[in-house]
């Protein structure tokens, strides 16, 4: 056996995304102890940087030492007690996972479903709250990774707050790729992942709780069912000052990487980052549509960083993805759930959201589709792409 040396890929699927070389370099720095004074200083810097990218003043803002799924579970396990009523607004795979969390915790689930590929209708939430005025929490996915749909988090949080409910918001795919404004929305529990638009290695979950939510955690009647994700315990380690209570051995080098990723995000600026993702999406869209391909999600509801493209009739989508990987070292994603076999998921997230990646994707996709005699227009995609970039 030899050292593992992976083939370099261009990652343009639903995640992980390409990791910025600056971040890889940061992760190779010398490991220090997880209670080392220098590392505690780094922890405080990470918290401050996370507050900037989440656009929040919440003191309880930190990265959980586990992927985004743990951020989801931490939100539910800390806020929900047996018998609590929770409205889950589901428009894809990850809304379904939210619903499963409620049931596992002994909560009373009210499931409001929306067609896959469509944003959640705020009026649907108003109707659900009118029918269930005793609801404690409203949960939804801001950027549904399975469908490439963005819902109106500001409107949904405002409706929930007016009804006296807490909100849990999944921002795994949206953070840094499009606007996330925790305080502006009035959201209570928000979580993300490092492997999407932060372009960091997978394995950490940026997480924030409002003061209102933190008070619910501190005053709950029953113990948090997860010891590892109990925020009452975690904050003993991630609190303020030099004295920290040991909770777990933090993934030190992974946190070096997150610190660097957050520095990169702040250096670029949030609004410029959102504009970059939007511009590269428009260039990809122009090329794909010139080729004759179509998008699954209505334009006003699309995520610029995750594009769902309808597969042409008669095309074996799996063989196309395999050929892209084998011939071009390019990864795009398959559809999930009810969209399996119907769409490709093409990511333009973080460091991967660059004109050269758009060019590679359009060129490679045209080549492999041409090889299988797919019904596409040839030789027009790149010119359409360049028209967006002004070339």
What does the domain layout of the chain look like in residue ranges? 20-267, 270-389
Architecture of domain 20-267: 3-Layer(aba) Sandwich (3.40)
What's the rounded mean pLDDT across residues 203-218?
97
Task: For 123-179, write each residue's pLDDT tens digit.
Answer: 999 999 999 999 999 999 999 999 999 999 999 999 999 999 999 999 999 999 999
Q: Do residues 309 and 285 lie in contact, with contact meaning Cβ atoms separated by under 8 Å?
A: no
Q: Look at residue 44 and tell me whether its pLDDT is greater than 90.
A: yes
Per the rule left: phi > 0, alpha: psi between -120 and 50, beta: everything else, 237 is alpha
Residue that the structure tokens 């396990």 belong to: 77
Residue 293 pLDDT > 80, yes or no? yes
* Residue 391 predicted with pLDDT over 70: no
Q: CA-CA distance, 134 to 137, in Å (whole number)?
A: 9
Average pLDDT over residues 73-96: 98
Closest CA to 29 of 253, 255, 254, 264: 253
Convert 103-129 to b/e letters by CB count within 10 Å (16 or more is b).
eebebbbbbbebebbbbbbbebbbebb
d(CA 9, CA 17): 10
**Environment class of residue 299 by beta-carbon count within 10 Å: exposed (0-12), middle (13-18) or buried (19+)?**
exposed
Task: Name which CATH class applies to 270-389.
Answer: alpha beta
Percentage of the chain lying above the pLDDT 90 cut? 95
Structure tokens at 256: 């070096």
In this model, does residue 96 exceed pLDDT 90?
A: yes
| Separate counts of helices (H) and strands (E) for the chain | 14, 14
Summarised one tens digit per residue, pLDDT across range 316-359 is 999 999 999 999 999 999 999 889 999 999 999 999 999 999 99
Kindly report the average pLDDT of the chain as a whole number. Answer: 96
> Tell me, what DSSP letter sits at residue 197?
T
pLDDT at 263 over 70: yes
pLDDT digits (tens, 9 = 90+) for 1-37: 899 999 999 999 999 999 999 999 999 999 999 999 9
Check the CA dihedral 388-194-308-169 and report its sign.
Answer: negative
In angstroms, the CA 308 to CA 130 distance is: 34
pLDDT, mean of residues 70-94: 98
| Torsion (CA) 219, 223, 226, 231 in degrees, nearest 10 | 20
Does residue 156 contact residue 100 with C-beta atoms inside 8 Å? Answer: no
Q: Is the pLDDT at 245 greater than 90, yes or no?
A: no
Helices (H), the chain: 21-27, 37-54, 68-79, 93-104, 122-131, 153-162, 182-185, 211-219, 231-238, 252-268, 270-291, 317-328, 355-371, 381-389
What pTM does this model have? 0.96
> How would residue 241 be classed by pLDDT, with cut points 50, 70 and 90?
low
Burial category of 215 from C-beta neighbours within 10 Å (exposed 0-12, middle 13-18, buried 19 and up): exposed
């Amino acid at each position: 056996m030899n050292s593992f040396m992976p083939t370099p890929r261009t990652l343009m699927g639903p995640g992980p995304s390409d990791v910025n070389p600056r971040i890889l370099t940061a992760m190779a720095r010398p490991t220090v102890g997880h209670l080392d004074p220098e590392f505690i200083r780094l922890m405080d810097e990470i918290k401050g940087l996370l507050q900037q990218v989440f656009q929040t003043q919440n003191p309880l803002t930190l990265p959980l030492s586990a992927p985004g799924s743990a951020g989801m579970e931490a939100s539910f396990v800390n806020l929900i007690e047996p018998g609590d009523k929770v409205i889950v607004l589901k428009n894809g795979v990850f809304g379904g996972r939210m619903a499963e969390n409620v049931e596992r915790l002994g909560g009373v689930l009210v499931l409001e479903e929306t067609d896959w590929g469509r944003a959640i209708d705020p009026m649907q939430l108003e109707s659900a709250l009118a029918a269930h005025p005793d609801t404690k929490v409203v949960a939804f996915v801001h950027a549904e990774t399975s469908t490439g749909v963005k819902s109106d988090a500001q409107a949904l949080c405002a409706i929930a707050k007016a009804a006296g409910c807490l909100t849990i918001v999944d921002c795994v795919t949206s953070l840094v790729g499009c606007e996330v404004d925790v305080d502006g929305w009035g959201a209570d529990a928000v979580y993300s992942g490092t492997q999407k638009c932060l372009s960091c290695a997978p394995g950490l979950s940026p997480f924030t709780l409002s003061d209102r939510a933190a008070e619910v955690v501190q005053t709950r009647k029953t113990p948090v069912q997860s010891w590892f994700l109990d925020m009452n315990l975690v904050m003993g380690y991630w609190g303020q000052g030099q004295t920290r209570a040991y909770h777990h051995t933090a993934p030190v080098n992974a946190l070096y990487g997150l610190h660097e990723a957050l520095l990169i995000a702040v250096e670029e600026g949030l609004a410029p980052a959102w504009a970059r993702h939007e511009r590269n999406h428009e260039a990809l869209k122009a090329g794909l549509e010139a080729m004759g391909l179509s998008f699954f999600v209505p334009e006003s509801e699309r995520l610029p960083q995750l594009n769902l493209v309808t597969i042409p009739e008669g095309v074996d989508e799996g063989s196309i993805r395999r050929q892209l990987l084998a011939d071009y070292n390019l990864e795009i994603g398959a559809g999930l759930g009810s969209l399996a076999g119907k769409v490709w998921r093409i990511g333009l997230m973080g460091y991967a959201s660059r004109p050269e990646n758009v060019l590679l994707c359009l060129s490679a996709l045209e080549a492999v589709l041409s090889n299988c005699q797919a019904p596409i227009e040839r030789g027009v995609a790149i010119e359409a792409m360049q028209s967006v970039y002004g070339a």
